[in-house]
Amino acid sequence: MHGRYATWAVAAALIATTAASMHASSATTTTYTHGYDVSWPQCSSDGNGPKAAHMPSGGTYVILGLTHGAGHTVNPCLGAQLDWAKAHGVMVGAYLVPSYPTRAQLDRAGSGPSGGCGVNDTACRAGNDGAKQATEALNTMHKAGVPAPMVWVDVEFRHKFPWSKNQSINARVVQGVINQLKASHVGVGVYTTSYMWQHIVGDYRVNLPNWLPAGDGKVADAEAKCKTTGTGGTTWIGQYTRTFDENVTCPVMDATPGHPGPLWPYRNTTLTIGSSGDAVTALQKALSIPNVTGQYDAQTTLAVVQWQQAKGLPVNGIVDEDDWRALGAFTLYGGHPFWLSKVVAPVS
């Protein structure tokens, strides 16, 4: 023991700065919760090219349509709408509308992420075409310079490009879109309703963020959608429709505090030789001491001293608030800031 105390004395002469990390704190919820989604319906042309028309006023963000109501198409006013967002200081997101492929599109989908497909393997070709729809939409997004961190997949009934009556093949199209977006390292969410989702893709479920419309102009109804799901995932955005499609973020996106770790209860406890109890047990586990006894013995003291030396803390064998902080006792885990940045981004 004399040698060990000598080590402590020498190390104590080389006291390093103590840890000065602040208490973990969560971000507060911002007021940036209201926005719009705009696409080809807000598009016009006066003979000099497509223009952003009938655009909303106010709002913090707009979610821009990349397609023109179906897969393999382009929103002709995307660039103009992006310019509008930049001029008005509005953040932007993106969505695409997938659709069931035409016969010609299926014929051209013989190879892709779903593999090489036989002439009559419609399911395989549907998956490849879905991936191609996603790739084309992403190319549109990147070419226009839309900085969206997430792309929403708008799965709903279509009159001009109707889904087939085969739900499993419809699901292959949607799955192809989603898988390709994920492979391209962008966030993915789904815009739909539980009714449309069930009727289009049947029992196919995806645990992705949902964006659900209320189908009316009541904000309260849109907020109520936050407690429901269309695909099996958690709902992030609710939509209501007045003059425009308007959107509100759900509580799941709000900033939330983290949760205390296992050392939290002992963060203000001082331990020294002779101490015992749950705090000592927690300390011994945190330092990976082989014999967990709950007794602050010589082995524990030596482990503490060596650890204090390594961390640049006062080398005295006493565990106080600074030591607990360095062990992470004051850290909160599992919280998150306001998640709007996962959906939209500012236009530079």
Q: Which of 238, 242, 127, 250 is nearest to 193 (CA)?
A: 238
DSSP tag of 208: S
Is 4:17 a contact under the CB 8 Å cutoff? no
Could you tell me which residues come within 8 angstroms of residue 219 by beta carbon, excluding any fewer than 6 positions away?
240, 248
Is 53:43 a contact under the CB 8 Å cutoff? yes
pLDDT of residue 11: 31
pLDDT of residue 15: 24
Render pLDDT for 127-154 as a digit per residue (tens, 0 to 9). Answer: 999 999 999 999 999 999 999 999 999 9
Structure tokens at 195: 């009714």
CA distances from 331 to 60, 218, 223, 260, 261 (A): 32, 41, 33, 7, 7
Q: What is the CATH number of domain 34-253?
A: 3.20.20.80
Residue ranges covered by each domain of the chain: 2-25+259-333, 34-253
Give the residues across from 151 on adjacent strands.
94, 188
Categorise residue 228: left if φ over 0, alpha if ψ from -120 to 50, beta otherwise: beta
Q: What pTM, to 2 d.p., does this model score?
A: 0.76
240: exposed, middle or buried (C-beta count within 10 Å: 0-12, 13-18, 19+)?
Answer: buried
pLDDT of residue 33: 77
Give average pLDDT by consecutive 10-residue segment, the chain, 348 residues. Answer: 36 27 34 81 81 86 97 96 94 98 98 97 98 98 98 95 97 98 98 98 98 96 97 98 95 92 96 96 96 96 96 96 96 90 95
pLDDT of residue 163: 98
CA geometry: angle 218, 236, 337, nearest 5 deg: 120
For domain 2-25+259-333, is the CATH number 3.40.50.620?
no
pLDDT of residue 31: 40
